[in-house]
Amino acid sequence: VYKSKYRLGNRDVDMHSKLRTSALFTILQEAASQHCIELGFGPAFTEKRNLIWVITRQKAEINRLPVYEEEILLETWPGPTKHVIFPRYYKISDIRGNVLINASSVWTLVDSQTRTLAAAGQYGIDLCGTYTGDEISLPRAPQQLATSLSQDFTVPYSYLDINGHMNNTRYFDLAEDNIISSAAGDKLRMVSVEYNNEARLHDKLNIQIGSEGKKYYITGDTDKPVFKMYLDYSL
């Protein structure tokens, strides 16, 4: 289990001084990447083999969002590898040990040239997965709602990451820029997302948005599905 402490700064919080959803998943992603390096499967390993780590699904269940200048304890650990699937789990607690957020994700390895999946056994990858008893279930396909709004979105340069595609955390910004609850300061209870295909520079996505009360479903497609997301702000 990888453990680290983190103090929230200006870049991590929204206008309500609470941890932004995109910042939450950035923190989780960075911790997972650092742990992967410590386990011997970071860039020094993957770049020689033309591999990149890609997230396919993520989920977070939130008891309380930490706030500006709050110090948090982050823990993350891999579950047992399943051929081309690399499960990973996360727990965020406050300094008193109260669990604030539980999360899980599904990662996979992709050939950086062909963009095809790579099996763990093919490259001798063993992340020594374990179960601690603190795991939530792995993310499934997000719950769907009927959509009623539609708009177009063009991927800007600033949304791209080192892999040359729209970074997974920016999908949360895209989503929350287009719903009422985030700006209103409603408390996010749960979020799940599925990434189906890459979105690259200047790709045009058609965004579909549906809602039931304070529950939202958002999708983005080019000529093929790109992402699906479900956010629940209901009490």
The per-type count for the chain, helices as H runs and strands as E runs, is: 4, 11
Q: What is the DSSP letter of 118?
A: E
Tell me what percent of the residues of the chain surpass a pLDDT of 70: 100
* Distance set, CA 125 to CA 15, 55, 106, 210 (Å): 42, 17, 16, 40
Q: What is the pTM of this model?
A: 0.92
Cα separation, 58 vs 168, whole angstroms? 10
**pLDDT score of 102 more than 90:** yes
CA distance 203 to 182: 26
pLDDT above 90 coverage of the chain, percent: 76
Q: What pLDDT score does 119 carry?
A: 76
Q: Looking at residues 138-147, what average pLDDT do you find?
A: 96
* Distance in angstroms (rounded) separating the CA atoms of residues 13 and 20: 5
